[in-house]
């Protein structure tokens, strides 16, 4: 893909920490592009914590959506796709996958597989989807997984600093 070659150096500079990740700008662009569109998505990962006010600098924007919405997001971001929207590998956590670059990476999984919540719920699976919360980000309302699931996932991953950030948000 031409976009992959165009953005590769900047993506690598961000991943390696050489350049800051303008995640807020990328999230604004996501909100602008999807406002009024049929593509339904929700934010997860570190960006979801940052939107809630946690002192974390996300390395990208992670989205979760349905299968049809994954394809729709591909259309919304067709000019900046760095990986085509396509079925994910059979061992993947979702049915579909896509990645765009709007100053920062925007990645989405479409149709998380039910097993991601087994044996314990994930912050991007069906259990989280059933309990989404809505939080304001500037002029937009964004859906996020519940903090208790984000805390549990980060605790299982051994991310004690992130768990402490989540605990501070709930106080």
Domain 2-170 falls in which CATH fold?
A: Beta Polymerase; domain 2 (3.30.460)
- What residue spans define the domains of the chain? 2-170
**Quick check: 36 pLDDT over 90?**
no
Three-state DSSP class for residue 70: helix
What are the tens digits of pLDDT across the range 109-148? 999 999 999 999 999 999 999 999 999 999 999 999 999 9
Please determine, for residue 171, whether its predicted confidence score (pLDDT) is greater than 70: yes
Q: Please list the residues that pair with 108 across neighbouring strands.
A: 63, 98
Percent of the chain scoring above 90 in pLDDT:
91
Look at residue 156 and give its three-state secondary structure. Answer: helix
What does DSSP assign to residue 114? Answer: G
3-state SS, 119-133, equals: CCCCCCCHHHHCCCE
Q: Within 89-144, where are the H helices?
A: 126-129
Q: How far apart are CA 87 and CA 96, in angstroms?
A: 4
Determine the Cα–Cα distance for residues 81 and 7; give it in Å rounded to an integer: 10
> Would strands 41-44 and 94-101 be described as parallel, antiparallel, or unpaired?
unpaired
What band does 2 get if pLDDT is binned at 50, 70 and 90? Answer: confident
Which pLDDT tens digit goes with each residue over 70-104?
999 999 999 999 999 999 988 899 999 999 999 99
**Residue 43 contacts residue 34 (beta carbons within 8 Å):** no
For the chain, how long is the longest CA-to-CA vector? 47
Q: In the beta sheet, which residues pair with residue 44?
A: 62
CB 150 within 8 A of CB 123: yes
């Amino acid at each position: 893909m031409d976009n992959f070659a165009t953005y590769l150096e900047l993506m690598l500079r961000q991943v390696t920490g050489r350049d800051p990740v303008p995640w807020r700008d990328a999230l604004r662009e996501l909100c602008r592009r999807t406002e009024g569109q049929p593509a339904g998505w929700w934010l997860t990962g570190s960006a979801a914590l940052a939107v809630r006010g946690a002192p974390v600098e996300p390395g990208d924007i992670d989205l979760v959506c349905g299968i049809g919405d994954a394809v729709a997001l591909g259309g919304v971001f067709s000019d900046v796709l760095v990986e085509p929207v396509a079925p994910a590998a059979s061992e993947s956590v979702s049915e579909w996958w896509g990645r765009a670059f709007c100053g920062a990476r925007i990645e989405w999984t479409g149709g998380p597989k039910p097993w991601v919540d087994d044996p314990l719920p994930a912050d991007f699976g069906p259990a989280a989807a059933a309990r989404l919360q809505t939080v304001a980000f500037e002029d937009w309302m964004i859906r996020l997984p519940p903090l208790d699931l984000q805390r549990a996932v980060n605790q299982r991953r051994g991310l004690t600093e992130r768990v402490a950030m989540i605990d501070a948000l709930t106080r």
